[in-house]
Each structure stands twice: as structure tokens, then as C-alpha cells.
Structure 1
Amino acid sequence: MTKKRIISFESGRLIALLAIITLHSQVFMKSPLIFGEPVIGMILNQASRFAVPLFFIIAGYFYYPKLVKSDSKEDVFWQYTRPLLMMWLSWSIIFLLIPFNFTTLLNDGYWAERTNYWSSLLANPLNSLFEGGLVHLWYIPALICAVGIITLLHAFKVEAILLPIALILFVYGCAAGSYVPVTDMEAPIFTRNGPFFSTLLVALGYEIHRRKLTLDSKQSIILAFSGFALFLLEANYLYFFANGAFYHDFLLGTPLWAIGIFLFLQGKPDFGEKLKASTISNDLLGVYLCHLLVVIYFFNIVFMLGVNPILSSLLAVPCAFFISLLVVKGLRKLPFGQLLVR
């Protein structure tokens, strides 16, 4: 029996993936400048930060029925995580071996180009372990950490402490991450990685399904905009008043923002029907895994050709998405394709 797709969630995943590619492509971050700042690029960068949190919530939402319908919680966990681990390891090996910087490669050779990269990873080996061969792969270990904690608590029938534990991890992640200029706290790894943020977001999706929580569209939109407004207020406070960074992956407003979007999608199951996202649903994780390499190569070529930054920004997202999609579809036809894509 084929699994029924919820159109709005598939559309949300597609939009979130495009937002991630926009973020990694640094669209309009060099030009145009308004009052000396790439204002359009800055807005796009900040507005894209809902994407990975939404992925986590959707993952938790669909993990719940898998877990409760099985007598063996351990089997569910391994069935869910084994292909993820396999893809994480396979792509990590590829990213460790394939050169990124064409200029260094042409001038100094393969070994020099790779040695520079390997040295940067070895400078913080524990953090690199929670990421993998390229920075965006952090999503998979973080997701596995989250579902591992949820599975363990469910197996011991102590789900009541799931949200408190997840909230503690999230607050610590903020305190030892973006809020370091305020708290002076330190963490052994970059807190975006591992269980710090992912656990709460996956748990929220899990609990929404478990408790059958819903909101109407208007309430969902208000919640989402409130979370986004809080996120922007935090980012501006940290940058202008605490000497922190301007760009952040997760802040205290992130869960509210992502929950609002998720609940809107849940309440509008036909949202985005014209996008036909379900036709490429199985390819989206593969596109996520390979897209950053495509973006890196795209900008290597753009730099070598001296392409106008506005033109390159306009081309980056569609080029990265469609080339990545072709790569994924090509990998499916290879004998070892199951190691790289689902």
C-alpha cells in the first residue's frame, strides 16, 4: 500500500529546501547595497531560518506513529536511523575527498587543497564528528540524537519529561551559542549541532501528533509572525547591544515561528497543490545532501568567469536546485545509489 502524502507538508518541505539553498547561496549578500548594506540579502537570510526547524518538526510528527505502532522501539529507531547514518557517512567520505576550491586546486594541486580543508576539520574534531564531511550534514546527527532521546524516553514510559528535557537542552543551546556574549557560557561543540536544538523541535512535532493539537489558520499565522518578530528582535539585540553576531540559526523565537508554520500547513492540507511537490518528495533529502557542493562549484565558476553578483544571485538557487535534483535522479540509477539517496 502506498503511503498517502499530505500535500501541504510536501509543499512546506520543498519551500523550506529552497529557503536553505537561498541561505547557502548567499543570495544578494554582495549586491545590491542599500545605505552600504545588502538589505535585501539580509532579509532573505533571516527569513530563511525557519527551514531546518520546520524539517525537524515534520520529522517528529511522522516519527510518532512509527514508534507507537511497534512493540520493538529499538527496531523502529534503527530502521529509521540506519539509512540516515549510511547516507551521512557516504556523503561525508565524498566531501572529504572531492576538492572545493578550484583556484587552490589549479595553483597548488589536489593535496594542498584537501590538506587545508582536513586541517580545518581537525582543528575541532569533536564538532566535526557532529557535522561530517561538510557543514550542512549536521542535520542528520542532530535528527538522530533527537529521535534517540524520544525513543529512549518512550521505551521507559517517561514521555512526561520529554518536553522539559528538550526545553533545557534548547535553552542551554541558546545560552552557550548565540547568547554567549551575554552569558559567557561555553559548550564542547557548536550548539547548533547535536541534540541541543533538534530535540525540542522534533519533540514538538511528536507531541503535536500525540496530543492531536491544532490551530486555525489565523491563529497559526499570528503565532508564526510572533515567533519571527521575536527572532528578529533577539538578532538585533545581540548584534547592536551585545556585540554578538547578526545571523543566527536558532534563537528563542525559533520554535514559535516554526510551530506556527507547521500548524498552518497542518490545517491547510491542500496548500501548495500546484507546486506538485509530491512528485519529487523522495528526492528532497538527497537534494539537501548534495546541494551545498553544487553551490560551491557554482560560485567557483562564477568567480572564475567574473559574473555580475546580482546575476549570479538570480541564477544560484534555480541552478543549484535543478542540478542537485538531476544528480539525485542519476544516483538512483547507480548500483551504489542506495548509499547516497533514499
Structure 2
Amino acid sequence: MWTNVAKKAGVPVAALSLVLACVTVTTPAAAAPVADGFASVDALGQNGTTGGAGGPVVTPATAAQFLEHIRRPGPLVVQVRGTITLPTGTTDGMHDVASDKTIIGIGPDARLVGGGLNIGVPVDDDVTSPPPGAVHNVIIRNIRFSGATDDLINVQMFSHHIWIDHNDFSDGDDGAVDIKRGSDFITVSWNRFHDHDKTSLVGHDDDNGAQDTGRLRVTYHHNYFDASDQRNPRVRFGSPVHVYNNYYRDNSYGIASTMDAGVVLEGNYFFSVNNPARVDFSGELGRLVARDNILVDCNHEIETRGTVAEPRTYYAYTTHRAAEVPTVVPAGAGVGKI
């Protein structure tokens, strides 16, 4: 089939054979993973998050091939096998991902090192509503991210329907997973964060309400914040942000809700966390509703304030009991477990 296509397109068969020796191309995957949380919500013209479902499946062998595939238009499943070292160059190591992509590791040893993934069009402070070309419908699963010179994953500029699931994040220079500038309908689930300082920012800064207010709806569930120091997450403006069934171990603080953000915090387990959750942090106070959380060897109680829209008005979900979280989450979070 590929030989016939090459002949019709005027591509030398010998050249095509060389390409196919480097990039494995297969038929579309039989079944796509199913997103949950805010990434599952039908909104903004997108029915849930399906990533590259329905498109070809490719397994690039080099960093150049990987980068070409993740920025290509149209549905595509990009498999990562082994270690791919991302270049720094003029981008500070951040590399763009186009809409309708699934980026998924094969086995427990898939790694992206030295650079990070950028999900979003270029920053423009004057844009205050979703532009026509906003990046959407991206799934990233089962990959170890480390050693980035900036963020490990950055979601920005009204990107929506993003699912970040069953990954391992460590040793980045800035954020592990940052979500900002009007991005919306995002789920961060079953990841392990460790050996990292500023884990996850929701909301760009205190002056970015024009882009962020009424957006930044994010679900964090069943993540293992394993001595990841702070921002687990740190939230501005977003509401509701749903944080449930996460395991916090040895952090300086867990969650901060500020600039009138609204966080629903339920069924989490905090062990040896100085400040599990707070609304008095910096900038204007946030809102936080807490229920059924467990605190062990923590120096402060959870700070609560105000009311927050219930996540169940957007999607259905089932929680584990908080007492089960220290067993369930480390056993299931991270790579090699899907």
C-alpha cells in the first residue's frame, strides 16, 4: 500500500523505504483510552478528550521524527519507545504539540528528557477569549519526563480538553505541569511527581484575570505528590478546580487557592505536609471547600472559605475512601501501570 501511495505522489520508493525503517506506522488503535474529570466534559465544540483516536499510530526513532509528528495537523497516536532527548535550541527546550494527538509511552521505560512539551498557541496578552486555532484534544500518558530546562508540560492560551495521565515527573527547572492563560477542561490523573520544586501552577499570575476568570476548570485525582515541594497545585482564578483522592507526602504545602479561585478538596491523604491547603497565601483570598480528607503529622489544618460549584454538576465520579489512598495511589500512579 505505501509503495503505491509513494508512486502516485512521485516519492522515490527507496526514499520511502528509508523513512519507514525509522518510523513504524501501523493502522489506527483498536480502542482509545477514556478520559475522566473535566477532560471528559462536552464543551467548546469538543466531545470529551479522545486525542489521536482514529488516526495512524507512529513510533518515531529519533527526536526530530518525534517533534515532526507531534506538531503535524490531524489525529495521530505518537508512541514513545525508550529515551528521546529533546533539543533546547532557540525554544528553551519547549516543543509545540498540535491538536488531536495522543502521545503515549510503550512499556515502563519511555522517557522524554532535556526538554518539555508546550500545548498552546503563542502567548498574546491581548487575546481574552478562545481563538479559532486554540490547541485542543491532547492526551499524554505513560511517559517519564525529566531534566527540562523550563517546564516539563506547559498548557497555555485557551487550550482545552487535555488529559495528562499515568506519567512520572521530576527534575524540571520550572513547573512540572503548568496550566494557565485561559486553558480549560483538563484532567491530571494518576501521575507521580517527585524530586521537583514547583509542581503545578493553575493561573498565570495575579494580573491575568482577563484570560483566566471563568476558565481553568481542572481535575486532579489519584496523583502521588511524593515530596514534591510546593504548588500541588497553586491555583488562581480557576473554579471549580477539583482535587480528590491524591496522596501528599512530605510537602511544604499542598494546595493554595487565591484570587477568588474555587477548589473542592475531598478524599485526599496528607502525610507530613506543613500546610495541607490554604486560602491566605498571596494576592486576594481564594475559596476552598474540604471534606473527608485525612491529615497525619501535619503542622496546620486545612483552611476553608466560601462556597464552590460542585464538580458533580459537570461530570460523574467515584471516590476511594481517604484511608485507602496511601495504598491505592502509590500502587497505581506513574508509568507502567496502564
TM-score by length of 2: 0.25
Q: Return the structure number with greater helix share.
A: 1
Q: Return the structure number with greater strand share.
A: 2
Structure with higher RCO (Cα < 8 A, 6+ apart):
1
